[in-house]
Amino acid sequence: MATHPEWIVCQFDLRTQNRERIEMFDALNHHGFAMDLVDKTPTPFYYYDLDVLHSTLEEINRHISGYPFMVHYALKANGNPLILKEIANHGLGADLVSGGEIKAAIQAGFKPQEMNFSGVGKTDWEIRLGLSHDIGCFNVESIPELEVINELAGEMGTTANIAFRVNPDIDAHTHKYITTGTADDKFGINIEMLEPAVNHALQLPNIHLRGLHFHIGSQITQMQPYVMLCQTVNKLLDQFEQRGIRFEIINVGGGLGINYTDPDRHLLPDFETYFNTFKQHLKLRDNQLLHFELGRAIVGECGSLITRVTYVKENRNKKFVIVDAGMTDLIRPALYQAHHEIQNITSRENSREMYDVVGPVCESSDVFAHDCSLPLTRRGDIIAIRSAGAYGESMSSGYNMRSLPQSVFHHCK
Ligand code: LLP
């Protein structure tokens, strides 16, 4: 049977979870990108290819099948309800960092027992919310937090499942804002403080210590930091085992990077090498479960930010393509100097020009790319900013009173 591509346009308000309108577009005749869709949908919008997401999830499940591995999706990468549903339907767990994310995960159908809740500053209501759903694990980042969780669990007549988040002091060689596992980062408990913390947790009446949790950073493309993490974990497991302590769960966090420079040739991350690294280097004990918390690697490549050229402007030294998307819709280039591929998907010109591609926001950092080679570009052309599925929509803001772009989903039935 022939596949039937469809486009769904949704307007969600991520904060209130209100879905305002849904339209289906028959795009049987679409030519690469359905232009009728662009005509009907105000730009900018997020475009999500659910087929890419589906293939990514299938690939993950293929690599973990037969191993005591469980992948938790890090909702912070993208909390769009349709994306969450697709991921929950593939049997992944959820990695959460706020009460809002707990609610969104419940609504999308993730199982509470397969939810991990991380974060250095969990507030009382967020802890109570997690306890009321009896979530799988609180990843505890400090002793004061441990004590509050114990107290609140006691008040509620329940027991809290926890793991300690350990800061393994490993440099993941990534951008300084997204490295998290070195000794001076705010995250986790320093490794030398772990043993007293474990002893303390074992004394507390309302705490069930299940495991150890690690996360060394994000957009990691070399396996070496993960090998070092495995070695650190192996050493810790040996040390604790000598004292008769065995953990049910080892959680190695997330961080697997994607290819921002050539997304079309690398739509799926190299999950084989990633999971093999842990299969080879981590010495899991019998009945131990290995948890992963991937965000970007799951949703990064399925999304693009689609935007229209408002003006092409020439200054003394530069040509600017001014688009209607801004740093409010994708902040990564402005915040991390991140590279995203930029494609003019409507130009039929053969000649190319160098442009700075910029947004309309009143900040000089509102730049998507400097000196970007594009086919000759004109007002009205449609630009795709690629690999925007992770940390695009979820980091959007209303600065300059701009509204949240719509989301458009493509999938084949
Ligand atoms: N687990 C923990 C404890 C985390 O802090 C993070 C991400 C993840 C898992 C998921 O990491 P991933 O697999 O997505 O790399 N806004 C930045 C990325 C911040 C990542 C924060 N923590 C960016 O746009 O690059």
| Ligand 1 pocket residue status of 141, Cβ below 6 Å | no
| Ligand 1 pocket residue status of 218, Cβ below 6 Å | yes
Burial of 338 (C-beta count, 10 Å sphere; 0-12/13-18/19+): middle
Closest C-alpha residue for ligand 1 atom 8 = 254
Site to substitute for ligand 1 among 117, 139, 293, 394, most atoms within 8 A of C-beta: 293
CA count, 13 A, side-chain hemisphere, 89: 9
| Ligand 1 pocket residue status of 257, Cβ below 6 Å | no
Question: Which pLDDT value is given to residue 15?
Answer: 46
Q: Which of 331, 258, 299, 391 is nearest to 48 (CA)?
A: 299
Burial of 270 (C-beta count, 10 Å sphere; 0-12/13-18/19+): middle
Q: Which atom of ligand 1 is nearest to the CA of 213?
A: 3
| Ligand 1 pocket residue status of 101, Cβ below 6 Å | no
Distance from Cα 287 to the centre of ligand 1, integer Å: 28
Q: Which of 70, 117, 71 is nearest to 98 (CA)?
A: 117
Q: Do 169 and 181 contact (CB within 8 A), yes or no?
A: yes
Coil, strand or helix at 62: helix
pTM confidence score: 0.92
Site to substitute for ligand 1 among 218, 305, 335, most atoms within 8 A of C-beta: 218
| Ligand 1 pocket residue status of 120, Cβ below 6 Å | no
Residues 6+ apart with CB under 8 A from 233: 168, 212, 214, 250, 252, 282
Q: Do 126 and 102 contact (CB within 8 A), yes or no?
A: yes
- DSSP secondary structure letter of residue 400: G
Give me the sign of the Cα torsion angle 373, 376, 380, 382.
Answer: negative
Tens-digit pLDDT string for the chain (413 aa): 334 445 555 555 444 444 444 444 433 333 345 566 777 789 999 999 998 999 999 999 999 999 999 999 999 999 999 999 999 999 999 999 999 999 999 999 999 999 999 999 999 999 999 999 999 999 999 999 999 999 999 999 999 999 999 999 887 766 565 556 566 678 889 999 999 999 999 999 999 999 999 999 999 999 999 999 999 999 999 999 999 999 999 999 999 999 999 998 899 999 999 999 999 999 999 999 999 999 999 999 999 999 999 999 999 999 999 999 999 999 999 999 999 999 998 888 999 999 999 999 999 999 999 999 999 999 999 999 999 999 999 999 999 999 999 998 887 65
